[in-house]
Amino acid sequence: MIKLVDLLVILLIIFSGICSASFIQKDENKQNYDLIIISTMDFVEELQPLKNHKENFGILTKIITLDDIYNGTYFEVQGRDNPEKIKYFIKEAKESWNTRYVFLVGGKEKIPIRLSRIYIITGDYSYYISDLYYADLFYANGSFCSWDSNNDGIFADKNKSGYVDQVDLIPDVYIGRVLCNNELEVCNVVEKIITYETSSYNQPWFENLVVCGGDDARRTLLEIFFPFLLNKIGRVVFEGEYLGDRAEDILKNFKTKKVYASGFFRPMIKSLTTDNINEAINGGAGFLMFNGHGKTDSAIITNFPFCRNVWLPKPLGYKSSDIQNLKNGFKLPVAIFGGCFCGDFNTTPNPIAWEFIKHSDGGSIASFACTSGAQLLLSSLITDSLHGYLEMDIFKLFSEGKDIIGDIWAKSIEDYLNDDNAMKLSDDFSMLNWNHTLSNHFVIEEWALFGDPSLKIGGYE
């Protein structure tokens, strides 16, 4: 028979064990993690070297699997579906772990997506992916921002009359995604990030800027009257080339390599051909920009100046297949895609913005791109609003000393939202073209960062 004293000792041991377990879990929740990497169980082993690398540079990192989120390993499970469960988890990580960066590793078949929608001029709706959904956690008053304020199951909804759902849009964490679908692709991305951050610093190739562009509007008369219709002063330009020239003005210490449609009649400028684009990239660059029309498999397709139906680079633009001829190794640029659908991973698992990162013998280290149709103004007003504004702000912020890519992505969105002139110009443009004022939210929601959001541009010293 167990004596009373022995029974008390046994109960004390059991109680101590429970307390210890509770304390460990509570202590875990008090730990700060600068970066969380969210992926599937399949990729945990391949991601471990990235975690170790980040922590060597003082970025406390935790790998989180979807099972951890769905099973409530760290935080109570909340949310009506898997994307919302992930968003609530990120909210808890922000509040409990002071998390700043969230790296999603996996395409839409691996890591769930959230679709937003917008009314389009045909009278129908267009749906597009927005990973900003996972970053916009709170309203200004601190309450949870679900992106579905009327609880109808449609997120960040916009109809012909205006905005249906209330959204905040300013990122509360800084988010990036890579569209890896297998372990080999994860290993490739991890190797590129580690090598880039440890070997790029102070390398001569980094101070190259490659800009590719041409004449995108094609309608000179419309360009002449377009600023007048918006009550603005602007001038006729080759929009794609104008954006490249403005980037050159901002990055004054960089050597600009221009690959332009006008290069066919300007001897000091490289003409816009696939070979010339690849030659410029193969020399290495800190930044690469494509300014022109785009598709899921085309980085740029634009017009020969003043010719509406002569497309460059011949015959079908710069395609995903052309990336295979890149041999820039680890001399990797941050790539900026100004064209439509270059980051659309809803209709294809491998949009060209990802193909650049995925390429194993070069390409890019990260990409900015639209997950749907890009929105750009005509004439020299192109830099004053919509995606032209966001592109230029990337260079501006870097020139001012911001060198963590996720910070730049988030601050460019915040700058846009706080710029009354940019917001009004977009509204006026939208009213003129589609009889509604919805472009501001659309361009921000679809502006995606592909890559590690904690990446230090130019590497560590």
Residue 401 backbone zone (phi > 0: left; psi -120 to 50: alpha; other: beta): left
- Flag the least confident range among 173-187, 221-235, 240-254: 221-235
Residue 19 pLDDT grade (very low, low, confident, very high; cuts 50, 70, 90): very low
Q: Which residue has the higher pLDDT, 267 or 221?
A: 267
* Residues 6+ away with beta carbon under 8 Å from 403: 456, 457, 458
**Bond prior to 313 in cis (omega within 30° of 0):** yes
The tens digit of pLDDT for each residue in 114-130 reads 999 998 877 789 999 99
Residue 218 pLDDT grade (very low, low, confident, very high; cuts 50, 70, 90): low
Query: Residue 220: what pLDDT?
Result: 67
Domain ranges in the chain?
A: 183-450
Predicted TM-score (pTM) of this structure? 0.92
- Cα–Cα nearest to 278, from 237, 225, 327: 327
The tens digit of pLDDT for each residue in 275-317 reads 999 999 999 999 999 999 999 999 999 988 777 778 899 998 9
First to last CA, the chain: 70
- For the four alpha carbons of 212, 380, 216 and 390, in that order, the dihedral sign comes to positive
Measure the CA–CA gap between 344 and 156, rounded to whole angstroms.
18
Q: Is 366 helix (H, G, I), strand (E, B) or coil?
A: strand
Measure the CA–CA gap between 328 and 282, rounded to whole angstroms.
4
Measure the CA–CA gap between 180 and 105, rounded to whole angstroms.
6
Query: Residue 154: what pLDDT?
Result: 96
**Bond prior to 204 in cis (omega within 30° of 0):** no
Domain 183-450: CATH architecture, name and number where available: 3-Layer(aba) Sandwich (3.40)
User: Averaged over 56-66, what is the pLDDT?
Assistant: 98
Residue 7 pLDDT grade (very low, low, confident, very high; cuts 50, 70, 90): very low
Please determine, for residue 26, whether its predicted confidence score (pLDDT) is greater than 80: no
Measure the CA–CA gap between 53 and 317, rounded to whole angstroms.
38
Measure the CA–CA gap between 426 and 389, rounded to whole angstroms.
11
Torsion on CA atoms 351, 133, 395, 426, rounded to nearest 10: 100
- For the four alpha carbons of 78, 35, 353 and 214, in that order, the dihedral sign comes to positive
Measure the CA–CA gap between 317 and 211, rounded to whole angstroms.
15
Q: Is 235 helix (H, G, I), strand (E, B) or coil?
A: coil
Report, in angstroms and rounded to the nearest whole number, the Rg of the chain calculated over CA atoms. 24
User: Averaged over 98-116, what is the pLDDT?
Assistant: 98
Measure the CA–CA gap between 78 and 14, rounded to whole angstroms.
31
278 burial type by CB count under 10 A (0-12 exposed, 13-18 middle, 19+ buried) = buried
In degrees, rounded to 5, the angle at the alpha carbon of residue 251 between the alpha carbons of residues 177 and 272 is: 75
Torsion on CA atoms 189, 195, 196, 201, rounded to nearest 10: 170
